[in-house]
């Protein structure tokens, strides 16, 4: 099966003042954006994520610093470096994710659904059982 995620690289609109990236719903972002959240000032050595989602689709972008996103959909595994603000990852199926953030990193996440604890697969066991269904 194909990976549950896709790497994206956005167009940089540059001029003499600097760089600009523009993201529009259903164009650069492949869904209707319902929620935006961001993670910053993450404590050194503490990994984020360590869960999967049942239905949620997300695009992750590291706006400052860098993040390593470790992904596993049960069949494919990949560690992706988000080290420029024009790079993104689109996750569209359940994938176990672990995220290591550099000091000062700011990770912004665009999601197609509101927050719901029901959508989380918080243990590896729950995740592995869910993807078998
Ligand atoms: C992912 C990584 C990058 C809310 O109240 N609203 C929200 O929208 C979110 C995302 C979280 N929360 C609450 C729920 C928990 O009490 O904030 C607390 C920490 O949330 P969570 O354990 O989901 O945080 P992370 O950083 O481990 O994971 C989140 C996303 O859930 C996840 O899908 O890819 O950020």
CA 39, CA 26: separation in Å to the nearest integer? Answer: 24
Which residue has its alpha carbon closest to ligand 1 atom 7?
115
Predicted confidence (pLDDT) per residue in 88-133, tens digit: 999 999 999 999 999 999 999 999 999 999 999 999 999 999 999 7
Distances (CA, A) of 17 to 31, 63, 97, 119: 31, 18, 36, 42
Which residue has its alpha carbon closest to ligand 1 atom 24?
49
CA 129 / ligand 1 centre spacing (Å): 22
Residue 1 in this model has a pLDDT that exceeds 90:
no
* Ligand 1 pocket test, candidate residues 115, 116, 119, 127, most atoms within 8 A of CB: 115
Q: Is the CB of 109 under 6 A from ligand 1?
A: yes
**What is the DSSP track for 32-89?**
---EEEEE-SPPTTPPEEEEEESS--EEEEEEES-EEEEEE-SS-EEEEEE-STTEEE
Which residue has its alpha carbon closest to ligand 1 atom 5?
115
Q: Which residues participate in catalysis according to the annotation? A: 51
Predicted confidence (pLDDT) per residue in 24-62, tens digit: 999 999 999 999 999 999 999 999 999 999 999 999 999
pLDDT value at residue 121: 98
Against a cut of 0.85, is the pTM above it? yes
């Amino acid at each position: 099966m194909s990976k549950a995620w896709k790497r994206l690289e956005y167009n940089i609109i540059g001029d003499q003042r600097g760089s600009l990236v523009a993201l529009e719903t259903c164009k650069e972002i492949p869904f209707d954006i319902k929620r935006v959240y961001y993670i910053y000032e993450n404590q050194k050595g503490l990994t984020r994520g360590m869960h999967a989602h049942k239905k949620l689709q997300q695009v992750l972008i590291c706006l400052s610093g860098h993040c390593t996103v470790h992904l596993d959909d049960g069949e494919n595994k990949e560690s992706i470096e988000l080290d420029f603000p024009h790079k993104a990852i689109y996750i569209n199926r359940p994938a176990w994710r672990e995220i290591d953030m550099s000091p000062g990193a700011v990770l912004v996440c665009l999601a197609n659904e509101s927050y719901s604890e029901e959508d989380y697969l918080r243990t590896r066991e729950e995740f592995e059982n869910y993807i078998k269904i």
